[in-house]
Amino acid sequence: MSDAQSNHFSGLGVWVALFLAGCSLCVFITKLPSRQESEKNAMQSWITAQSSSSPEPIVVALGTSLTGSGLDSTEVLQKMIAEKSGRPVRVLKIWRLDAGPATYDSLLPALVQLRPSVVVIEANMLFYSFSKKKGWPAYVQRFRDFVNNKKEQYSPDSKPLVLKRHLSEMETFRSGLIDTGQLVAFTKLLAGWQKEGARLVLFNFPLEASLEIKKWSSADTVSFFRNLHFIERHCRIEFIDAKMRLDETNFIDHAHMNEHGQLKQSLLFCNLVTRQLAYP
């Protein structure tokens, strides 16, 4: 074999080796845990660690909004509730950002271990779904997620997204309405907690006083009440106002999306919890 032929086959071998190495790398990347899987595993571990018996009443807050409902830190909320109710509590904020109620299904094995006294549910998550933003190609995103989240731990007090007080800005994150079928497993979880003595409260409705007439006369209203009635057939929800007459005295929507409204939103949350803890 001539030197030219030898060099040709040698070069070809290098390209074949590089091709096989690339294929192996792609297969490896596709086997890496996704960001959703990493977050789920981290949250399951955190919830399981919180399920140990405790003398203090447990307050569970569930939500999916990017703003985290504008709530303050767990430490601040616990202090405020203790001052108002005269008893110490444990607040567990279990937030699935940019998701929907069905995403809690994967956490059910850990969630059912909790024995909360009060469960505060972000009403937004029962009505609106969030848009799925395009990003990196799937295999690239998998590798980025692996690098960024291989040591991920769930932090209930991670800083939420802060927006300006503009409805149009919030609407850009919404993508249609939640179908009732997505609430089945979530509703069973709520019913199970209530059977054990928990009181259920809705918080942060997706409208504000200035938009109430317009919002409740829109097509969204049908979906809102369909989902609410589905949940109410299985468990009792303590509404802020039994007639759904919401105003700025007991409801703040877009105000919680800026720093100024955070204290008011946290006060509302703590007042709701304190009111429910007063019941036997």
Whether 245 has a pLDDT exceeding 60, the answer reads: no
- What is the reported pLDDT for 216? 54
Asked whether the whole model's pTM tops 0.75, one would answer: no
Question: Highest mean pLDDT range out of 68-72, 74-78, 170-174, 209-213?
Answer: 74-78
Whether 251 has a pLDDT exceeding 50, the answer reads: no
State pLDDT tens for residues 119-143.
Answer: 998 887 887 776 555 444 555 555 5
Q: Are strands 128-130 and 174-177 parallel, antiparallel or unpaired?
A: antiparallel
In sequence order, the 6+-apart residues with CB closer than 8 A to the CB of 209 are 246, 247, 248, 251
Measure Cα distances from 58 to 77, 81, 154 in Å.
Answer: 12, 12, 18
State pLDDT tens for residues 171-200.
Answer: 555 667 788 888 999 999 999 999 999 999
Give the three-class secondary structure for 160.
Answer: coil
